[in-house]
Structure 1
């Protein structure tokens, strides 16, 4: 067993887990002051629920071994609860539980991302029900489509997710998604759009009405996300090697370029670059580089960041034109950014991209992967959300939304500036 690589994977897992509290700060700063507890609790609720479900059966669904299919329900029951993974096989590079831990953090952050679309108006209990069902029937299977792979003794793929390796059988080239552009960002962004449509618009929804209450929280959250993203991207190599180093450098370059591009668009469009724009631009770049971080030369990573930062800065305006209330721009940043990063590989992926020695096949398989996940996630999320809204109710009352839902839902306030009981 390689203790160095084992330590690398475990540290990467810890970094990715930190991304969810970082997301809580990022989202928490963007909502109004009387909803900050509610917003942050949806991220922490996801940490608790998905962490348990992953151990109980999530890993068994996502990584069903050679029996993996489009709908991987024929799982090996010995994998439930991870009891079969307690021993490290002879000659293994790292303990199986190290990989289990790493992938658990992906499941957690993906579910938490969805919550940004329903800020200021969602019931916590309904959110937890949605999170558990959506993770079970959408995230766990989609993770299997993308991340489930293994090698035979001769080095060939013995089995694999249909997105990353199954398409290779049909087209000679498999879709590239190194760290989760489809499974994480397109998946979460599509579900966020579905929930935004199910819950409807916030009271008084229009441009300029809902402003971030705490930009320093947003910047802190973005910083924690960027820090954790090195585990997300470089850690996906599962080894401390040159590919991990390339992913690490690209995780610096792309978000840095995206940050600058977002600020430039703000300056041109609105006359002032903002701190929230800087944070959002960095996250947009991180989203876009996620699938591509190990398959691009750094110069192309910078170009990807510039494109993602500019396009996402414009895409967040679509909710006002098209009339859906994606509260914290999960669609504009994660869905759009994920699509940009995934499709960009069709042009610039090392060796196979259309403009760097390949042909249009890579672009075709990237598009198949991206839109298969988008459609599947959107449809299932809409059905789940609609069913919850019509049964237990997903949205709080309008008067509670106007007053701020922290005290109504959680009995707490985010800011107690004076002890009124003294």
Structure 2
């Protein structure tokens, strides 16, 4: 059996490497191929993860490394899905090109509901599938429905224990069992990676800011994203940090950091942009920053979980308002960070997290997941109703939209009488009234008994 591992980020490749080292993919001797995919908007401007200085420490686990971008060029990995009638032709092509003959395959993929995983699992229609998670999205619901037959071939969900003891909700509707990648295997991989910086550079103990590609996803404007990073900078400087490291997201487009640099100069802080193709976790292991600050990056969790580095969040309240539609898959990572990580204000003060109990966080995420994907998680309705009824108008209702709760007939939404009154109060024959009536009629089908 040949095992094909698909990775779009260096962090994903690190997760796979740790799973292999821990024996999660069986003993050595099997043929293993790493298929690298650059899913950024413009891959030609992206960074090939195989050229990262850290990749050499990972690549030895694979018999060969191939580029999925090159295999399907000029098609884009995130946008291409072969036509159903062409699947057998594509499988024959790749089996011949990759020397697979007719042997059985195991695919290890990330983000199962989207391409390239969606394309590959459809092309290799008899391959067993392992889904591995390289971030916080595994704690949320499956983003979209899977093609026929794919759910039944998924044998397990491999994941890091990013939030200790928290059970993933991803693929629950398919009865897929979860399997942990051991902490010691992952930290062993981390310790073998070295960023291009020497201890003599005097960067230890500073504050590390981690960016995200929110503007590229059209969640924020470029100006708002820059202001978010500036707010992080002001907060850490106000806390007394004079050396500040900024790590852009690896998938973010190339943009100048002039706004951040000008603010650092105004505040009298030393700012260094870590633009090498090295994940934030590697920098944390080498430089041991005194504080890591971000919006909802997984690095906030890994820094705290694996290195004991304090983390702080900035801008999650804005993201909770901006994410649209409510089903946006980033909602669960934002919710986890917002609820469990202290918030950093621009005056340097740190707030207390809303939740400290894993059980309470699980209950919140079940309710959020149901509100996001009620059709695929009908068995979770009672838990969602109980959670919403218990918290009424409390602080945790910030994670829900009244319109969404109303559409699903959940506590916290408008009552049937108020929905009817609102609909009839709108001008007759108006587009707003038609939308409201349709939403309320749909909600009536799911109204609580």
Which TM-score bucket, shorter chain as reference? under 0.3
> With structure 1 as the length reference, what TM-score do the two structures score?
0.27
Larger Rg: 2
* Structure 1 or 2: more strand by fraction: 2
**TM-score, normalised by the number of residues in structure 2:** 0.25
Q: Which has the higher contact order (CA 8 A, sep 6+)?
A: 1
Greater fraction of residues in helix: 1
